[in-house]
Amino acid sequence: MNERLQKLSAWMKENGIDVCFLTSPDNVFYLSGYFTDPHERLLGLAVFQNEEPFLVLPAMEKNDALQSGWGHEIIGFTDTENPWEMVHNSVSKRLTNAAKIAIEKEHLNVERYEELMKLFPEAKQFVSAEEKMRSLRLIKDERELKAIREAAALADYAIEVGASEIKEGKTELEVLAAIEFELKKKGVSQMSFSTMVLTGQNAASPHGNPGQTKIKKGDFVLFDLGVVVDRYCSDITRTLAYGDISDKQKEIYDTVLKAELAAIEAVKPGTPCSTVDLAARSVITAAGYGEYFPHRLGHGLGINVHEYPSVTETNPLKLEEGMVFTIEPGIYVPGVAGVRIEDDVHVTASGLEILTKYPKELQIIK
Ligand code: MN
Ligand code: MN
């Protein structure tokens, strides 16, 4: 078994868990090396304390799974077979009594949970595997870091393209399309989430929807996007000005930048997440904009664009070497302006590595 599976098995032994049945594509990928989106079909990875793990997936994907390097049993089911019976048979070959089963409670739907209860009437307890999976994924290894670094470099490039597309009268969607067109030419097949290009009043909403709004002089253009490389995500935000902006807009921009730099300054092993959040938040609050910064400072980044650690003002979790997360303070004043600056950072032994490198000083496109 690979090192990740061994760690999960060790946790199962400590907690007396007989079977761990994982169903989310992200966690199955993390442990098996095989990624697939099975849509409505079943995808599962069963892990045991000592016995051999197995994958269950649609038969048509069996070959892909084999080629991904998975060296253990694969159960492929056709559209006319009942995959649950096959799961039960394979578990029964390994165990006589599955009394305690770990599942992903946030992912496994009720129908599937009922299916499992029927198959394993001896199961007395269903516990959550999510917390353990989050902590396994929290520290990134060299291969994961390499993918995130590449994804971050492509995100920088995407902002560069976006900046060159800022012109009077262009719509948010036109600029967005140009960015994604250029990325696809570079071989990017997937974004971390729906790309955001927001201007004018739309930028004053932390989660706006790009549309037909046209860029005009005196407005900010906010880009929030990410690129997926080898299944790992990046996430960057830059806010650029088009034409001359007001003193108030400048003050908001300067405050966000000062806050972002203060948070970066605070990152090193041993510092609690809360301290990093508060380093930025206190700058924004002192400038009088506290109520206009309505979200946490940042989130972990990896296979999922939002994972652990959660960088909030109350999270006591201490930073450790190998964690990767975003720093993204923002100020959104309805009717005035919205500014957010977001970088991806990696905690190192001595401090941090900033993965996204596009310049942050106020850029005014003429
Ligand atoms: Mn973002
Ligand atoms: Mn983010």
pLDDT digits (tens, 9 = 90+) for 172-205: 999 999 999 999 999 999 999 999 999 988 888 8
Residue pair 272/351 in contact (Cβ under 8 Å)? The answer is no
What's the CA-to-centroid distance between 357 and ligand 1, angstroms?
A: 14
87 and 235 in a single domain? The answer is no
128 and 169 in a single domain? The answer is no
- Among 80, 110, 136, the domain boundary falls at 136
269 and 227 in a single domain? The answer is yes
263 and 171 in a single domain? The answer is yes
Structural domain span for residue 127: 3-136
What's the CA-to-centroid distance between 109 and ligand 1, angstroms?
A: 28
What's the CA-to-centroid distance between 114 and ligand 2, angstroms?
A: 35
Q: How far, in whole angstroms, is CA 248 from its chain's centroid? A: 33
What's the CA-to-centroid distance between 108 and ligand 2, angstroms?
A: 26
Position 274, amino acid: S
- Among 136, 169, 197, the domain boundary falls at 136
223 and 195 in a single domain? The answer is yes
Q: Which two tokens stand for residue 123?
A: 């199961």
Q: Which of 76, 132, 150 is nearest to 344 (CA)?
A: 150
pLDDT of residue 34: 97
**What CA–CA distance (Å, rounded) separates 88 from 77?**
13
- Among 113, 136, 159, the domain boundary falls at 136
* 95 SS3 class: coil
What's the CA-to-centroid distance between 273 and ligand 1, angstroms?
A: 18
Global pTM reads: 0.94
What's the CA-to-centroid distance between 158 and ligand 2, angstroms?
A: 15
Domain harbouring 39, CATH code:
3.40.350.10
160 and 106 in a single domain? The answer is no
What's the CA-to-centroid distance between 257 and ligand 2, angstroms?
A: 16
Ligand nearest to the CA of 236: 1
Residue with tokens 């201490």: 318
105 and 148 in a single domain? The answer is no
User: H/E element holding 309?
Assistant: strand 307-311
Ligand nearest to the CA of 237: 1
pLDDT of residue 202: 87
14 and 158 in a single domain? The answer is no
pLDDT of residue 208: 83
**What CA–CA distance (Å, rounded) separates 68 from 288?**
53
What's the CA-to-centroid distance between 148 and ligand 2, angstroms?
A: 14
**What CA–CA distance (Å, rounded) separates 88 from 250?**
63
What's the CA-to-centroid distance between 155 and ligand 1, angstroms?
A: 11
Domain harbouring 276, CATH code:
3.90.230.10
Q: Residue ranges of the chain with pLDDT lower than 70? A: none
Ligand nearest to the CA of 222: 1
What's the CA-to-centroid distance between 100 and ligand 2, angstroms?
A: 36
103 and 210 in a single domain? The answer is no
130 and 148 in a single domain? The answer is no
What's the CA-to-centroid distance between 328 and ligand 2, angstroms?
A: 7
Total domain count, the chain: 2
What's the CA-to-centroid distance between 252 and ligand 1, angstroms?
A: 19
What's the CA-to-centroid distance between 82 and ligand 2, angstroms?
A: 40
Ligand nearest to the CA of 324: 2
What's the CA-to-centroid distance between 269 and ligand 2, angstroms?
A: 21
347 and 259 in a single domain? The answer is yes
176 and 126 in a single domain? The answer is no
Q: Which long-range contacts (CB under 8 A, 24 or more apart) does 208-213 make?
A: 210/172, 210/173, 210/176, 211/171, 211/172, 211/173, 212/171, 212/172, 212/173, 213/171, 213/172
